[in-house]
Every structure is written in C-alpha cells, then in structure tokens.
Amino acid sequence: MLIDVINVKPKNDFTLWLKFENGEVREFDCKPLLEKKPFQKLKDKYFFDMAKVEYGTVVWSDEIDIAPETLYLESVPSS
C-alpha cells in the first residue's frame, strides 16, 4: 500500500506534521534518524525546516528523503 504525502510541516521538536492523500494527518518523529547517514544533516534546524513534498514523499535535498511508506507506517495519528 503506497499512500502519497501531500503536505508537510516541520515542527520545532524534529517531528513532521504530514497530510496524506487519503486525508489522514499524522506525525513522524525524525529524532531516531538524526545520528544516521545521511540524516545527520537534519540536526541543523534551518536545514530540517526546508522539508518539502516532491513526488509523494518528503525531501530535503537530492540526497535526503524518506520513503512515503516509512512515513506512513512509522508515524502516529495527529490532528
């Protein structure tokens, strides 16, 4: 099951507010990724805040993205 991300808002606590194409709103905690390559760059809050949606997933640069199925399956419902 592949559900595209249609909107993302980075939050101050290194979580992502996500809206999926099925209408669900969820939050994904990026903190566990911050010590892993290539995600270490996301520790820079300015860079983290540059998150955007491209091709149904969240990206920061040509090098950093998170698969939409990971974002969906490892996130929790939000409002």
Q: Where are the domains of the chain?
A: 5-77
User: Whose CA is closest to 15, among 25, 33, 26, 27?
Assistant: 27
- What does the block give as tokens for 74? 């490892």
Per-residue model confidence (pLDDT) at position 2: 80
Per-residue model confidence (pLDDT) at position 1: 66
Task: Give the rounded distance of the alpha carbon of 23 from its chain centre.
Answer: 16
Per-residue model confidence (pLDDT) at position 12: 96
pLDDT by residue for the chain (79 residues), tens only, comes to 689 999 999 999 999 999 999 999 999 999 999 999 899 999 999 999 999 999 999 999 878 999 999 999 999 999 7
Per-residue model confidence (pLDDT) at position 31: 97
| pTM of this structure | 0.94
Instruction: Please tell me the CATH code under which domain 5-77 is placed.
Output: 3.30.2020.10
Q: Cβ(48)–Cβ(58) under 8 Å?
A: no
